[in-house]
Amino acid sequence: MYEYYLEDWEDYGPTAMEEVRKYIDKTSKSREIHEEVYDVIPYGVNSNQRFYNPYPIYLSKAEGSRVWDVDGNEYIDFNMGFGSLIVGHSHPHLVESLKEQIEKGILYCFPHELLNELIEIITEQFDIDMFRFSNSGSEAIMFAIRLARAFTGRDKVIKVEGSYHGTYDYMLVSTWPSWGRMGPRKWPISVVESMGIPDLVEDYTIVVPYNDVEAVKRVLEEEGDEVAAFIIEPVMMNCGIIHPRENYLRKIRRLTREYGVVLIFDEIKTVMRAHPGTAAQLFNIKPDLITMAKAIGGGTPISIIGGDEDIMTLVGPGEIPTHPSVMHAGTYNANPYSIRALYVTLTEILTKDAYPRLIKLNQMLRKGYEEVFKEYGINAYVETFGVSGTIIFSNRKVHDFRGYLKTRMDLWYPYFIAMLNRGIIPMAIGPEEIWTISVQHSEEDINTYIEKLHDVAKVIVDTDKFIEENW
């Protein structure tokens, strides 16, 4: 099957083609596995985002800042579980604690003894009144939207164009609409992004551009009394990284309050990203609900939905007849394994003291990228947030999804494969993704990354030139 994908690479020119051939030579066992599983497991992966052209490497081991593939190739990993592993791979504290937990059981389906200690940590660290645990970001989002609907008695939800909030039907709208389908900037069309989702979802999910207060105002003036929630990432992190314009979030807070709309901050990626807390705290804005996942669990599946007491008290089985009831359940919710990992991550690893070093390493990497871009004349810039960063192939600063779509994402693919060939997983999979520095990365890791980048710059330049001359 990979031969089919190889044809794509011809379009990128001989340098890129040479890189992909090198990749194929280095990863023959991965290719074999891929070809075997492809027909049974669609695309040979268990999450659409894990597939890339021509096929992904299949991993056998991870430790510290490294992973190894089935061919024995070693990589310094800056994907770090799509940003989940700020703790790095198999942190010794986690290994010790989780081994002990496995011996004591990995699934109780009764409340865990540690909950008692966790309530204070979580409510204080993330500044929320009440919370519940789920397993993934998508689940947390689904539940937050249900709560907002229950609280307001309204059904519609506003989301930002180009934002990804997980695989929940109502949120798989305009996550990546194409030109021609997305409608005018002033009134974006809601575009369902997967087959199998009823069209009616488009009537309930309203889309606005990021960083545009007037767009939100227009929607609220027109149909505010039908809107339950506005869901937003305070820093947009699935279109590269896009920072909010000054006072944007504050104005959104004011507007949502005025119209009685529940403001949900999706902090699945932003939490623990720049300090041991939320982006809401950094911007000093209090949303009504917050969803958190990824870094909080040290690599285990766990998420938190938390916020105002008025909303969170709606949750419950409805045992008391006068008590309202919002459904929230899950066999694996707050399982002892994930709870233990979260506890160790928050109390022992991602402490306040850990961040200055991580941010310094990230700035080192940023500087390395900027020097390479300058030296080789590559039209790109770096955007960072805390321990993560991304490159945007453009010389124009991006403020929203449509701006992002105008950047040169095509150059990302040869860059990614060429970095893999040199033993670096430079970031998570996809041009719109981020890299993550973990507590287990060293200065030497960053220096190696930058050194390889110098090499790869030539691949980017050659590919760009080829495209310029031939497309």
Distance (Å, rounded) from C-alpha 289 to C-alpha 305? 7
Q: Which of residues 239-258 bind ligand PMP (CB under 6 A)?
A: none
Cis-peptide into 54, omega within 30 deg: yes
Identify the helix (H) or strand (E) that includes residue 292.
Answer: strand 289-292
| Catalytic residue selected from 294, 404, 413, 445 | 294
Q: Which is nearer to ligand PMP, 17 or 282 (CB)?
A: 282
| Catalytic residue selected from 12, 23, 58, 164 | 164
Is there a catalytic annotation at residue 294? yes
Task: Scan for tokens 């998508």, then name that residue.
Answer: 138
Q: If you count DSSP H runs as helices and E runs as strands, how many of each does the chain have, helices first? A: 17, 14
Which of 435, 296, 462 is CA-nearest to residue 365? Answer: 435
The only residue of 268, 290, 304, 453 in contact with ligand PMP, by rule CB under 6 A: 268
Query: Which range, of 28-36, 261-269, 354-362, 370-378, touches ligand PMP by CB under 6 A?
Result: 261-269
Q: Which of residues 274-303 bind ligand PMP (CB under 6 A)?
A: 293
Q: Which is nearer to ligand PMP, 89 or 269 (CB)?
A: 269
Task: Scan for tokens 């939905």, then name that residue.
Answer: 305
Query: Which range, of 110-118, 130-138, 142-150, 380-388, touches ligand PMP by CB under 6 A?
Result: 130-138
Q: Which is nearer to ligand PMP, 429 or 467 (CB)?
A: 429
Is there a catalytic annotation at residue 38? no
Burial of 40 from C-beta contacts in 10 A (0-12 / 13-18 / 19+): exposed
Distance (Å, rounded) from C-alpha 219 to C-alpha 303? 30
Note whether 138 binds ligand PMP by CB under 6 A. Answer: yes
Identify the helix (H) or strand (E) that includes residue 61.
Answer: strand 59-63
Task: Scan for tokens 């790095």, then name that residue.
Answer: 88
Q: Roughly how many angstroms between the first and final C-alpha of the chain, as a whole number?
A: 26
Note whether 231 binds ligand PMP by CB under 6 A. Answer: no
Is there a catalytic annotation at residue 360? no
Q: Which is nearer to ligand PMP, 296 or 459 (CB)?
A: 296
Q: Which of residues 65-84 bind ligand PMP (CB under 6 A)?
A: 82
With CB atoms as reference, the residue minimizing the distance to ligand PMP is 137
Note whether 85 binds ligand PMP by CB under 6 A. Answer: no
Q: Please, what is the minimum distance in Å from the beta carbon of residue 312 to ligand PMP?
A: 20
3 state DSSP class of 243: coil
Angle (CA) 310 132 255, round 5°:
45
Note whether 136 binds ligand PMP by CB under 6 A. Answer: yes
| Catalytic residue selected from 69, 266, 308, 462 | 266
Note whether 432 binds ligand PMP by CB under 6 A. Answer: no
Note whether 238 binds ligand PMP by CB under 6 A. Answer: yes
Burial of 387 from C-beta contacts in 10 A (0-12 / 13-18 / 19+): buried
Q: Which is nearer to ligand PMP, 138 or 384 (CB)?
A: 138
The secondary structure of residue 8, as a DSSP letter, is H
Q: Which is nearer to ligand PMP, 333 or 379 (CB)?
A: 333
Token pair listed for 150? 């229950």
Beta strands in 123-196 (DSSP E): 130-134, 156-160
3 state DSSP class of 384: strand
Query: Which range, of 137-145, 195-203, 322-330, 366-374, touches ligand PMP by CB under 6 A?
Result: 137-145
Q: Which of residues 139-178 bind ligand PMP (CB under 6 A)?
A: 141, 164-166
Note whether 464 binds ligand PMP by CB under 6 A. Answer: no
Task: Scan for tokens 């794509």, then name that residue.
Answer: 8
Residues at the interface with ligand PMP (CB under 6 A):
82, 136-138, 141, 164-166, 233, 238, 266, 268-269, 293
Residues tagged active-site: 164, 266, 294
